[in-house]
Amino acid sequence: MDRRKFIQSTALAGTSFVLAPQLSNASGIFKGSPNDKVVLGMMGTNSRGLYLAQSFAKIPNVEIGYICDVDANVVAKTIEAIYKQTGKKPQGITDIRKMLEIKDVDAVVIAAPDHWHAPATVMACQAGKHVYVEKPCSHNPHEGELAIAASKKYNRLVQMGSQRRSFSNVQAMVKELHDGVIGRAYYAKGWYTNHRATIGKGKQVPVPANLNYELWQGPAPRKAYQDNLIHYNWHWFWNWGTGEALNNGTHELDVIRWGLGVDYPSKVVSTGGRFHFNDDWQTPDTQNILFNFPNNTAAEWESRSCNGYNIEQLGRGVIFYGDKGTLFYDGGNGYRVYDGDSKLVKEIKDDTKVDATNKVSPTEALDGFHLKNFADSVRGTDKLNCPIETGFKSTLLPQLGNISYRVDRVLHIDPNNGHILNDAEAQKLWSREYEKGWEVKV
């Protein structure tokens, strides 16, 4: 594909793209020309991963070359879906370590369970691959620091899937906030609601023949297989998941941190519990997290996993409060600005549908911008909108909230690096124990 056809194809895909000669190898690490295809290896494709594979496949000159999943049925389903979409069958692989040995893989897309996010990121960087990792970028804060270290040490690009960083109107909204559209923004509130069903009481049963449960657990300490765990309910078990705060709250808290212009908090406290059902669910189904930041601002995030009553008429969103007005972000690609008397003074609309209860992607029609940003960054023609350093800071906020919840007290934080101060019990949750032989090292 020549340069002109490539630019035309990209424009037809519904995104804006200019091939700037001065950026033709901005990253300094892509060996081909900007017109060369980017070959992706997908890790974890049952739900979100399948969606990402199909979405990446829509981007011109991006090839889904390999599908890696520990469930043979998922591998077969994904290969068939990509073949139907593109006319080319990816190669199926069970073990991520085998996929990382393949030389023509340019980048790895990680959508496996949370306990795999950072370990796979580190392994991919060590193998010379760039990485697109779904949020949260890590199961615990220490792993996020390891992912940053791996990106730097091996000179690899690592993008976290905070797709709102690539939404045009959200970018404009944040610029307006920083330019003082509501004066000094000093408080922000984010929320998420859903109506999830009970996961019941699981029974220990034989592992299905199609599932490699040993590889599924990977770095996590071993637990017996039970019938209410895979493929989704692992989110609510501390050994593998991180609860609603990381599953969804990462998005709102990323926008909040971005809008307030803050990095690390100085104080964090969280309350909540598993209130709605009596079952195996371990993480909170109802949670509030409060943050104070050193620039005299504060924020909160509220969630209800099992009661879908909307807040402010929406299942998710963010409100910024300032000394001259208020800004309401609808969770998609639109926002409204009000003056100090709550009079609407500006509205930016986007008709793109946002479904807060969609487990795969509430913002499906907009996500392509973030995926394309990653592919173009690998080519060297763009810069990442959410590099791992940014993703880590936003992931850390709900992680600190979960730690506060688990130790049941206020955490005092070093605002220079986000570390917990003078609390040995809480500090133990900064990292985790690994299955022997699976320790993560950079």
Question: Architecture of 3-165+371-379 per CATH?
Answer: 3-Layer(aba) Sandwich (3.40)
Q: pLDDT digits over 141-172, tens only?
A: 999 999 999 999 999 999 999 999 999 999 99
- Closest Cα partner for 191 from 322, 331, 353? 331
pLDDT for residue 25 is more than 70:
no
Neighbours of 98 (CB within 10 A): 11
- Closest Cα partner for 113 from 230, 201, 211, 31? 230
Q: pLDDT digits over 407-438, tens only?
A: 999 999 999 999 999 999 999 999 999 999 99
As a whole number of angstroms, the distance between CA 380 and CA 22 comes to 10
As a whole number of angstroms, the distance between CA 275 and CA 230 comes to 23
Domain ranges of the chain: 3-165+371-379, 168-363+388-428
User: pTM, whole model, 2 decimals?
Assistant: 0.90
CATH topology of domain 168-363+388-428: Dihydrodipicolinate Reductase; domain 2 (3.30.360)
pLDDT for residue 357 is more than 70:
no
Q: pLDDT digits over 376-402, tens only?
A: 999 999 999 999 999 999 999 999 999
Q: pLDDT value at position 9?
A: 36
What integer best gives the mean pLDDT of the chain?
A: 91
Q: Which residue has the higher pLDDT, 91 or 25?
A: 91
pLDDT for residue 7 is more than 90:
no
Using CA atoms of 35, 41, 45, 50 in order, give the dihedral in degrees to the nearest 10: 10
Q: 3-165+371-379 with 168-363+388-428: one CATH topology?
A: no
pLDDT for residue 35 is more than 90:
no
Q: Cα–Cα distances in Å, from 118 out to 114, 121, 123, 149, 264?
A: 8, 5, 9, 11, 20
Q: pLDDT value at position 362?
A: 56
